Amino acid sequence: MQADTVRQSVVLRRRPSGEPDRSDFDIIEDAIPTPAPGEVVTRTIWLSIDPYMRGRLREQQTYAKAIEIGEVMTGETVGEVIASADPTLAVGDIVVGARGWQSHVLSKAAQLTKVDKAGAPISTYLGVLGMPGTTAYTGVTDILKPKAGETVVVSAASGAVGSVAGQLAKRAGARVVGVAGGADKCFYVQDSLAFDDCVDHRAMDLRAELAAACPNGIDCYFENVGGAVQAAAFDLLNPFARVAMCGMVSQYNQDPFPPGPNLGFVVGKRVLIQGFIVSDKPDRMAEWRKLAAPWVADGSLIYREDEIDGLENAPDALGGILGGRNFGKLLVRVGPDPH
Amino acid sequence: MQADTVRQSVVLRRRPSGEPDRSDFDIIEDAIPTPAPGEVVTRTIWLSIDPYMRGRLREQQTYAKAIEIGEVMTGETVGEVIASADPTLAVGDIVVGARGWQSHVLSKAAQLTKVDKAGAPISTYLGVLGMPGTTAYTGVTDILKPKAGETVVVSAASGAVGSVAGQLAKRAGARVVGVAGGADKCFYVQDSLAFDDCVDHRAMDLRAELAAACPNGIDCYFENVGGAVQAAAFDLLNPFARVAMCGMVSQYNQDPFPPGPNLGFVVGKRVLIQGFIVSDKPDRMAEWRKLAAPWVADGSLIYREDEIDGLENAPDALGGILGGRNFGKLLVRVGPDPH
């Protein structure tokens, strides 16, 4: 266990070319800060690793500021308050919302959400009950709106977002087909998540296998990956299909991006393609937590976590999630979790 | 003037490769039919030529049945009733809705709409007050929803759809930029239609010219053409931009279709891309006619017609509209218009 006076931070050394790894980052040490009025310091227990982080390492940004060279890498954490200068939070409280690849994070109290230590496992506030779960909920509820009997395809189906998106579509009565990488993930998607079918995106003829799994075409597509999976899914879209554009992780390491599908089909089939970012609707996370917490408690909402130990391994973990080497919600265990 | 007992029809001889012309069609003659109960026969006055017709000549269809070899080519007409076996229509009535590249069309009376001979010029029911105008109205109203001060880009801006779409966006208080082919059309778009700017898509650096015309980026894009114009417009879309996908005429003669834009930007910018077909909302045409007829009457809704004489020239007219050689709503004058 690290000394209680030293803080470790992962900072960007250089902009990665292709898949990021530890050589693109430095680990620096300084003193654990002291909170000013309205602030608290947390020790990080869990750090979330998410595909969007790759975008923050690019110079050119679309919706958020790039991480600068020498700046601490961003990321959501669950932590324990170890020093508080705000009346709303006490030492020992567990909070979510502190951002940074750091052993200890200084935050304004107003940016943090206190979570119930006696409720769901605290790591779930970074996954099934956190940003990824809320992302799935928003995309399915606001864009896909699957109807009973419709066919819904979810890419990256075993992942933190896809696994929830597919389960929500199942609850709506849809036939749900996952796309995932490899036999283990496909087995999990069908056996544990109870999707109706799952196609391995490494298949020799992905389009033919997806077509076979979707004999009535595709009414809704939850897009997490782009590339060949997108091309295959777009080919099979039915008239009036909806596409929730959540991410295109297959190309996050590519520069420049490859050409996309010809969009002529969008006209004739009246397809809706809608990009979205979960943080645009900040009220949705609380709404989702209220809805889903009972499902986590009764075991009816299935989730899976993939843990990596040690803050120093966070850079390789980011490389791993972009390469699909994680299996479930990827978390870095930064400090002990007594809960 | 043709004999009153003979009907001429344009039928498909073979599926065109590239731009269609008269060698792809035959003109056949038969007797003018006699209406059965519930039917009427019209003599065609105006035949509408529209880009969507090229799609009907392809074997593979998305939303409508292909024209078969030997079948009469489809197309909306304005005609005069010359024989009626239905109490709702009388000889001499002017009707819109009869479909076919024919000098005389046999229709069920219920498929036809009688128009007011004393109102707007009857040719406008195929253009500004017809399907193209309603298409513009639907796309702008239901998908783009431009707000005052936003930038709206309209491709094929001098055409039957684009000219109305841009004028509607102007009425909503938006800054409207057209894209059209050549100096004459661009002058018309700025001078007569009063768009704020117009970019010639034949410019050496289309993207740079469009960027210069849209210093605040693009909030709404009304897509009629695809190809290089689409790529330039997509590059300049702002966060939360809306794209009404009405058509992609630049590629209708191509087989296979070229690759499209990479869609990664849709996620980060939360772009909405929505395809639509005007006939999905059949009530909208009457709604639009009621709204727009006074604007046509008072001269505040500008439109332009491009007339070709003679049914036998309809195939070349279709080639011309796909090549952008028309200037305004393209109509074939099939018979005399006394109104």
- Integer CA distances (angstroms), A39 to A4, A104, A269, in order: 19, 13, 53
pTM here is: 0.95
Tally of CA atoms within 13 A in the half-sphere of B231 that contains its CB: 17
- Per the CB < 8 Å rule, is B270 touching A247? no
Q: Does A250 touch chain B (CB under 8 A)?
A: no
3-state secondary structure of B22: helix
Q: Does B280 touch chain A (CB under 8 A)?
A: yes
3-state secondary structure of A176: strand
Q: Percent of chain A scored above 70 by pLDDT? A: 99
3-state secondary structure of A196: coil
Closest CA to B331 of B132, B62, B198: B132
Which residue type sits at B59?
E
Chain B residue numbers with beta carbons less than 8 Å from the beta carbon of A56 are none
Most distant CA pair in chain A, distance: 64
pLDDT digits (tens, 9 = 90+) for A150-209: 999 999 999 999 999 999 999 999 999 999 999 999 999 999 999 999 999 998 899 999
Q: Percent of chain B scored above 90 by pLDDT? A: 94
**Rounded to whole angstroms, how far apart are CA atoms B38 and B112?**
11
Per residue in B55-75, is it b (16+ CB within 10 Å) or e — as a string? bbbeeeebeeeebeeeebbeb
Residue that is written with structure tokens 């389960």 in the block:
A167
- Per the CB < 8 Å rule, is A268 touching B230? no
**Rounded to whole angstroms, how far apart are CA atoms B111 and B178?**
35
Burial class (CB in 10 A: 0-12, 13-18, 19+), B300: exposed
pLDDT digits (tens, 9 = 90+) for B181-206: 999 999 999 999 999 999 999 988 99
Q: Which of A60, A225, A252, A266 to mutate to test the interface with B (most CBs of B within 10 A)?
A: A266
CB-based contacts of A218, cutoff 8 Å, min separation 6: A151, A152, A153, A233, A236, A237, A238, A241
Mean pLDDT throughout A64-79? 95
How far off is chain A from B85, nearest CA to CA, in Å? 36
Q: Is B184 in contact with B158 (CB distance < 8 Å)? A: no
**Rounded to whole angstroms, how far apart are CA atoms B268 and A248?**
10
**Rounded to whole angstroms, how far apart are CA atoms A206 and A203?**
5
Mean pLDDT throughout B265-294? 96
pLDDT digits (tens, 9 = 90+) for A129-147: 999 999 999 999 999 999 9
**Rounded to whole angstroms, how far apart are CA atoms B73 and A167?**
48
Q: Does A215 touch chain B (CB under 8 A)?
A: no
| Kind plus residue range of the DSSP H or E element containing A295 | helix A284-297
| Kind plus residue range of the DSSP H or E element containing A290 | helix A284-297
Q: Does B144 touch chain A (CB under 8 A)?
A: no
Question: Beta-carbon neighbour count of residue B258 at 10 Å?
Answer: 12
Q: Does B254 touch chain A (CB under 8 A)?
A: no
Average pLDDT in chain B: 96
**Rounded to whole angstroms, how far apart are CA atoms B70 and B15?**
11
Residue that is written with structure tokens 């783009």 in the block:
B144
Q: Does B60 touch chain A (CB under 8 A)?
A: no
As beta bridge partners, residue B274 has: A272, B244
Q: Does position A296 have pLDDT exceeding 80, yes or no?
A: yes
Question: Beta-carbon neighbour count of residue B111 at 10 Å?
Answer: 12
Which residue type sits at B274?
Q
CB-based contacts of B178, cutoff 8 Å, min separation 6: B153, B154, B155, B157, B158, B162, B166, B186, B189, B190, B193, B195, B197, B198, B199
Q: Does position A1 have pLDDT exceeding 90, yes or no?
A: no
Alpha carbon A182 to chain centroid, angstroms: 20
